[in-house]
Structure 1
Amino acid sequence: MDELLSRLFSSEEEESHMLDCMAHFMVFMAACTLVTLLFENVPYGRYASSKYGFAVNVKFAWFIQELPAFLVPLALLLWTSSSKTSLLPNQLLLAMYFCHYTQRSLIYPFLIRGGKSTPFASFALAFVFCVYNGYMQVRYLSHYAEYPADWVTHPCFIAGSGLWLVGWLVNVHSDHILRNLRNPGETGYKIPRGGVFEYVSGANFFGEITEWAGFALAGHSVHSAAFAIFTLVVLTSRAVAHHKWYLAKFDDYPKSRKALIPFVF
């Protein structure tokens, strides 16, 4: 892959500049997505529509669309000169990234029970995003990111790592609750209960937003910040849509629950 990258970029300075541009473009796309989602729900699950293309099996879609977020970074680590991977801050940040996507791409898809098919447009966009973001995050951390020698003891890194861990645990636990809402043979929707679902309708989204916000705080780069911002925009929209849907669907839905942030929003 070093040879491929050398053909794409005339120097490391050019690639580093491109990574910065990719991050700024992701922020721009987050703004465009925010405007779009004011008028349209993300077309997946209960909001899926045939106007976004043919349906893709949900397990297949999740596995294939998330896999590049794991394989592209893995290839970068194995087959390129990763000059910064010997540094502890970089190693820990890479571990956070891979911990999430090992679970999300290699474990989560095979635990899905039922679930509606994914429109092809959503599937394709998610696949492209995972390639794009996987390259941007891991190439920066493995080859360009430089931190002070004591960065792992800096308050930003400690607080960010703690947020990441809390967010990851909430995300995984909330997915577990959603998977087990129905007994074998049951159909239809149920009110999720337990864990952070006692406080918000989008507990899984709250967990993932917290996770990548912590990653951005610990990573202290435009690249990790761009990812956190994009995640915030997309998942906030999903949480609000879910909250409204639950309130309309169930007369006994807990009125004290918020959409995304406990006690606040």
Structure 2
Amino acid sequence: MVQVSVVPAGRVALARGLPITLSFDDKAAEDVTIGDVKSSLTAKFPRFYAARQKITIKGEKKALDDEATLAVAGIQDGGELAVKDLGPQINWRTVFLIEYAGPLLIHPLFYHFPRFWYGRPVPHSMLQKVVYALVLLHFVKRELETIFVHRFSHGTMPFMNIFKNSGHYWVLSGVLLAGAVYSPIYNLHSGHILGSVRNNPKFIGACTALWLFAELSNLHTHINVRNLRPAGTRQRAIPQGYGFELVSYPNYFFEIMAWVSIAAMTGSYTAWLFVAVSAYTMTVWALKKHKTYKKDFKDYPKNRKAIFPFLL
């Protein structure tokens, strides 16, 4: 049998009985995991579910992995751990589904009900029809990937972050983009469209072809990443294959390429704003994760960039 004391790190309203001593019968420190500790705490305090718990060695800030055993963490019989309440959590898969649902709801509202937004009907140009189709296809693809392709290394995130995360999609690629692109400025009879490259089928076709290439490439890299992580694990490996020979995150690169094609097609300042904000955000993510790859894998390819081939 092994016993471990768990003390609160800060205020833990859902576990007012802390500190508490947990006993694991017929197990040694080498057999008990941090996940077992979390499960035992949840059994004692049902509202304090495992995703809300951050377990650390007392006096330290770094969270211990659920898979780590007490022995690996340096905790022996009679040792002490600390638990912090991370607050209400939401499943990452649910987060993505909510984020991508925004544009899928908002674009049809602007496209099909122009009189409500602009005060008059908007006969749609070829450009508007194509952009509408591409945006919806993009976010339908993202929803399907979330359900059937993605495997998440972290199960949940703080619930309040959903509003910040959703704002990027619901506002920038939702309200602002839809409001600009489906406006009378781009309609069938607009002088901004007639006689311009934005009414040229070859130009629109070229941009659409670039978009399709980027979307299919993005999907391919997502499937490749999925295959690196067996279901139910957090296993990590060096990604190889299409796109990965040049950058660590080709999925981000192809995502940016897809939106660049739409921005180029429309010439909308709003579309370019979304590209700029998205590219900056994904670049920050890629650089951080690329650094982690190089730290965790000593044989990580030295010439591989983070997100933009040959550049960054």
- Interval of TM-score (by shorter of Structure 1 and Structure 2): 0.7 to 0.9
Partner of 1:174: 221
Q: Residue deviations 1:150-205, cap 9 Å, x none?
A: 52437764554343223222222111111221234543211111111121011111
Normalised to the residue count of structure 2, the TM-score between the two structures is 0.62
Q: Which of 105, 108, 127 is matched with 1:89 structurally?
A: 127
Secondary structure of 1:198's aligned partner: coil
Partner of 1:65: 99
Partner of 1:202: 249
Distance, in Å, in 1 between the alignment partners of 2:221 and 2:244 is: 7
Which sections of structure 2, spanning at least 5 residues, go unmatched?
Answer: 1-64, 66-83, 187-192
Residue 222 (str. 1) matches residue 269 (str. 2): yes
Q: Residue deviations 1:20-69, cap 9 Å, x none?
A: xxxxxxxxxxxxxxxxxxxxxxxxxx9xxx99864321111111122112
Partner of 1:101: 139
CA pair 121-144 structure 1, distance change in 2 beyond 3 A = farther
Residues paired across the two proteins, number: 216
Distance, in Å, in 2 between the alignment partners of 1:225 and 1:91 is: 19
Does 198-207 or 70-79 show the bigger shift?
70-79
User: Which is strand-richer, 1 or 2?
Assistant: 2
CA pair 188-224 structure 1, distance change in 2 beyond 3 A = same
Q: Residues 66 and 126 of structure 1 are in contact (CA less than 8 Å); yes or no, is this contact kept in structure 2?
A: no
Distance, in Å, in 2 between the alignment partners of 1:132 and 1:52 is: 28
CA pair 172-79 structure 1, distance change in 2 beyond 3 A = same
CA pair 122-169 structure 1, distance change in 2 beyond 3 A = farther
Partner of 2:194: 148
User: Which is helix-richer, 1 or 2?
Assistant: 1
Q: Which of 114, 136, 147 is matched with 1:110 structurally?
A: 147
Q: Residue deviations 1:225-256, cap 9 Å, x none?
A: 11111111111111111111100111111112
Partner of 1:136: 176
Structure number with the bigger relative contact order (C-alpha 8 A, sep ≥ 6) is 1
Q: Residues 163 and 214 of structure 1 are in contact (CA less than 8 Å); yes or no, is this contact kept in structure 2?
A: yes
RMSD: 2.6
Distance, in Å, in 1 between the alignment partners of 2:252 and 2:86 is: 23
Q: Residues 158 and 218 of structure 1 are in contact (CA less than 8 Å); yes or no, is this contact kept in structure 2?
A: no
Secondary structure of 1:180's aligned partner: helix
Residue 76 (str. 1) matches residue 110 (str. 2): yes
Distance, in Å, in 2 between the alignment partners of 1:189 and 1:252 is: 14
Identical-residue share of aligned pairs (%): 25
Q: Residue deviations 1:2-26, cap 9 Å, x none?
A: xxxxxxxxxxxxxxxxxxxxxxxxx
Distance, in Å, in 2 between the alignment partners of 1:122 and 1:185 is: 24
